[in-house]
Amino acid sequence: MTTKKTKPSALDRIDGPADVRAVPEEDLPFLAQEIRDELVRAVSKTGGHLGPNLGVVELTVALHRAFDSPKDKILFDVSHQGYVHKMLTGRRRDLDTIRQHGGLNGFLLRTESEHDCYGAGHAGTALSAGLGMAAARDLRGSDEHVVVVAGDAAFTCGVSFEALNNVAETTKRFIVVLNDNEWSISKNVGAVASYLSKITTNPAYAHLHEQAAKFIQAVGGRGALALAHKVETGVKHMLLPSVIFEDLGFRYYGPIDGHDTALLERTFEFLKTQNEPVLLHILTTKGKGYPPAMQQPDKFHGLGKFKPDTGETEPAAAPTYSQILGTKLADFADHNNRIVAITAAMAGGTGLSIFEKRHPDRYHDVGIAEEHAALFASGLATQGFKPFLTIYSTFMQRAYDMLIHDIALQNLNVALCMDRAGLSGDDGPTHHGLFDIGYLRHVPNFVFMQPKDEEEFTDMLWTMANYRKGPIAIRYPRGAGTGAKPKEHPQILEIGQSEVLRHGRRVLLLGLGNMVEMAEQTADLLAARGIDAAVINARWIKPLDTQTLEFFARAAEVVCTFEDHVLHHGYGAAVMEALGEARITTPVVRIGWPDQFVDHGKVDLLREQHGVTAAAAVKKILAELKQEPAMAKSSPAA
């Protein structure tokens, strides 16, 4: 019996970029397949951004063969497609820890590796940051290359064009790779996507490009690529009279096959010799090599654990807040033709894909352009429509000027739906929605709220749909809530009226949103020690229910607030301000997140680490009551 001989692993021999350059060219397809197999295996256990990384395998290998990281600077826009880069820069054996507490970050992180020259989790940052690095190089007189990898979705982001507008007058040596896969998270939309499609689908240009690519690959070398570009440029200008990138001062090359490592490497070697800004347009397939990800690019952009053989994920036990929003907003729009839904490239993530199917004429995905989305909503509102601007809390930060200058100042009837408010778990600090209370509660004219569960969420959405006195905002967490059933027939809530859940005298517990449950747990722990506590479902961040607050706070010995937000300028700070203005001196202790960027990891683990727990609340309350925990009645839960 003979044993079948298997090819030695190329990936096992890679501990850094020098090892990538040492791989024989004939072994590159084998290496690419090994990387894909490893990505699917690891991400199936941890969850993460699978599709984007499967699509940049050959590109990342070619980058590390043609350039010398960390001397040369390689920037990935958003950087969620940086898993392959991590694998090739000494972190492959830690891939199983990605997005796990204490493990690799799901995005690039300057503190994680010298090869991560720039960290980001939001789109559109790489061109500007890379241009800054190129300018610094020129001022310093050094010779490193700066390479920016940006997906086509990043070119729907206005800040990318702000950078492109300044490249030609800033530096002569700058390489941009436009990774064109027709997707951001949702399908790319707008004129930029259409423009790129015209370049890549014109039959004459496609034929020309194919012949040019074959010529380059067959002959190789600088002269071959220069000649191919000369021919290509002539025809290109006949087909497309104005090529936008060349009008902006770039020498445009492509589009070429983004899954041909050898062609990419030779092209990069040529581009390194150019003394002018260059843009290489490559075509890739999101999810390449893994059929489930290719069939459902939006689902496999970022997902939880799944079965690697089939791509199946565990069914959700309960609908998420996002899904409830999409369903209820579509229901409301059935009877109100002035409701319009807007998102910024996040149809699935925000739940608006449900709305889109039922009301396509009143659904708008503007691409990764949050500032434009907010202004677009403002224009709709001036004409009597009710726009629901549905954007993650962490991404709404990008539209902050518009929230003040356009929506609030003009007192427009825009509804802000801030998904992923609070901790976003494994995605880490770029995606935690921990700052929205601080950046919104002080803005005049805004009403701002957060629901304790799914049932109250539907009431709040209905309240928003019927509110006509100016801007109104809601924040809600990622995923499912307590499992409460959404209401079939929601009610309009009284603005600024909180809900008393328990009466008590010694301690006042104020829970905001998903933290009401923790306030209830704290009340139970205090009751076990013979301490009675009132529990209030705050509901309203602005306006505060000062009447209820003052009534209970005057009688209490301690007030304790709970919020899924940083303590600085948060809900607890608002309570302290209100009590101070009323000259009520009852001490206030606050449970929330510290003045630092919180790491990635499971929510329960991070709460325990940072003292965002009922047990921590009890300890703080007892200290104010001058009652030591050791002297109180024991309780297993405490």
The answer to whether 587 and 621 have CB atoms below 8 angstroms apart is no
**Distance, CA of 546 to CA of 553 (rounded, Å):** 10
Strand partners, 147: 74, 175
The answer to whether 345 and 367 have CB atoms below 8 angstroms apart is yes
DSSP β-ladder status, 499-502 and 533-537: antiparallel
Q: Is 370 a catalytic residue?
A: yes
**Distance, CA of 196 to CA of 285 (rounded, Å):** 15
Residue identified by tokens 């392959």 is 84
Q: Is 488 a catalytic residue?
A: no
Residues 6+ apart with CB under 8 A from 610: 593, 594, 598
Distances (CA, A) of 422 to 177, 182, 224, 371, 437: 34, 31, 54, 22, 10
Distances (CA, A) of 157 to 164, 179, 181, 187, 188: 12, 15, 16, 14, 11
Residues 6+ apart with CB under 8 A from 409: 445
571: its two tokens: 């809900």
212: its two tokens: 């040019």
CA-wise closest residue to 93 among 82, 104, 101, 102:
104
Residue identified by tokens 């309960």 is 318
Catalytic residue among 91, 99, 386, 398: 398
3-state secondary structure of 435: coil
Start-to-end CA distance of the chain, whole Å, equals: 64
Vertex 188, ends 184 and 189: CA angle to 5°?
A: 145
CA-wise closest residue to 278 among 329, 229, 328, 344:
229
Catalytic residue among 370, 454, 520, 563: 370
Catalytic residue among 286, 288, 328, 529: 286
The answer to whether 383 and 409 have CB atoms below 8 angstroms apart is no
The answer to whether 117 and 110 have CB atoms below 8 angstroms apart is yes
Distances (CA, A) of 29 to 161, 203, 258: 35, 28, 13
Strand partners, 418: 391, 475
CA-wise closest residue to 482 among 521, 508, 448:
521
3-state secondary structure of 421: strand
485: its two tokens: 């059933």
Q: How far is CA 343 from the centre of its chain?
A: 13
Other CB atoms within 10 A of residue 326 CB: 26
**Distance, CA of 443 to CA of 604 (rounded, Å):** 32
| Residues marked as catalytic | 286, 370, 398
